[in-house]
Structure 1
Amino acid sequence: MGLRIALLVVTVLLAGCVGNPGPAGTVTETKSNATNSTERTVVSNVNETKVVERALDAEKAYVASKLRNASCVESWDTYPIVMDREGTVVNQTTSGLYVDVQQPYAWGNEDIEADSASRATYLVTDNETQRVSGPEIDPC
C-alpha cells in the first residue's frame, strides 16, 4: 500500500512539472494511528503563474526597500532596462514552492550610475512569501 501511495505522489508531482504552467500544490497531512507517522500528499490548487508573480513582487519590494534606504543612492528604479525580470519554480516540497527570481534595478548618485539585477530564491506557501536565499543589496 505504501508503494502505491508513493507512486501516486510521484505521478502527481511529475504531472505538475510537465507541460504548460498549471496548478502547483499545497500540502495536507494525514496521521496513521498504527505507525504514528505522518504522510504528506500534494493537492493541486495553486496556480504556478501566481506563485511566480508573488515571488517577483516580493523581490521587487525587497530591492526597492534596500535602494530607498541606502544613504549613497540619490535616484533608483526597478524597471527592467538591461536585464529581464524573471521567475521560475525550481522545486515543490511539502513546505511549499521554491521560486528563483531575477529583479533588474538601476541606481545612481552624482558620481555613478549603475544597472544590475538581484537574484534570490523564495519559498511560497498559501500564506507567506519568504526570501530564503540571495545576496544582500548594498550599493554603498
Structure 2
Amino acid sequence: MWCLFVLFVSASGCAGPNGDVSDETATDRALAAEEEYIETRLEGAACVDGWGFEDYGGWGETATALNRSDGGVYVAVRHPFWYSTVELDADIGTEATYLVTADDARRVGGTEVSPC
C-alpha cells in the first residue's frame, strides 16, 4: 500500500517523467503570469494613478486548459483589473492564451494592456 501512495503522490506533482505539466499546475501558472503581465503594464504607465485586480466589472477570473502540444499545455485565461487616470476610471479585463511548459509560461496572444 505504501508503494501505491508514493506512486500517486509523484504522479500528481507539477511535472511527470517526460516534463508534462498537469492541467491544474498549468492553469495556476497561466493566471499568475497574466497577473504579472497586467502589473508590469500598469506599473510602467505614467498616466495611471491607481490600479488593482478587484473585479468591479463582472469579468471573472478563469483559466481553462485547452489542449496539449509542443511539450506543454495551452491555457485560455480571463483576468479582471481596474485602473484610473486623470481622464477615466476603467473596470476591464484581459483575455489571453498561454503555452505552459515545465520551465515556462509564455503568453502567445491576447488583449494588450496599454492605458496611456
Using the size of structure 1 for normalisation, the TM-score is 0.66
* Over 3 Å off, 4+ runs: 22-28
SS in 2 for 1:66: helix
Give me the whole-angstrom Cα distance separating, in 2, the residues matched to 1:24 and 1:92: 15
Question: CA offsets, 1:73-117, max 9 Å, x none?
Answer: 110001222211111011111431000101101000232100111
Distance 1:25 1:91 in 2: 16
Partner of 2:69: 93
Q: Distance between the aligned counterparts of 1:104 and 1:27, measured in 2?
A: 35
Residue segments in structure 2 that go unaligned for 5+ positions in a row: 1-11
RCO higher in 1 or 2 (8 Å CA, sep ≥ 6)? 2
Alignment partners' CA distance in 1, 2:54 and 2:25: 20
Query: CA contact under 8 A between 1:84 and 1:104: conserved in structure 2?
Result: yes
For residues 91 and 55 of structure 1, what CA distance do their matches in structure 2 show? 14
* 1:114-133 equivalent positions in 2, closer than 5 A: 114-133=90-109
SS in 1 for 2:95: strand
Contact 1:66–1:138 under 8 Å retained in 2: yes
Q: What is the deviation of 1:131?
A: 0.5
Letter of the aligned partner of 1:127 in structure 2? D
In the TM superposition, what whole-angstrom CA distance separates every residue of 1:28-82 from its partner, at most 9, and x where no partner exists?
4xxxxxxxxxxxxxx8x63311210100000011001101111111100012222
| C-alpha spacing 1:94/1:112, structure 2 compared with 1 (3 Å) | closer
Q: How does 1:1-140 map to 2 (within 5 A)?
A: 28=18, 46-82=21-57, 83-140=59-116
3-state SS of 1:132 partner = strand
**Matched positions, count:** 104
Q: Which has the larger radius of gyration?
A: 1
What is the CA–CA distance in structure 1 between the aligned matches of 2:105 and 2:44, rounded to whole Å? 22
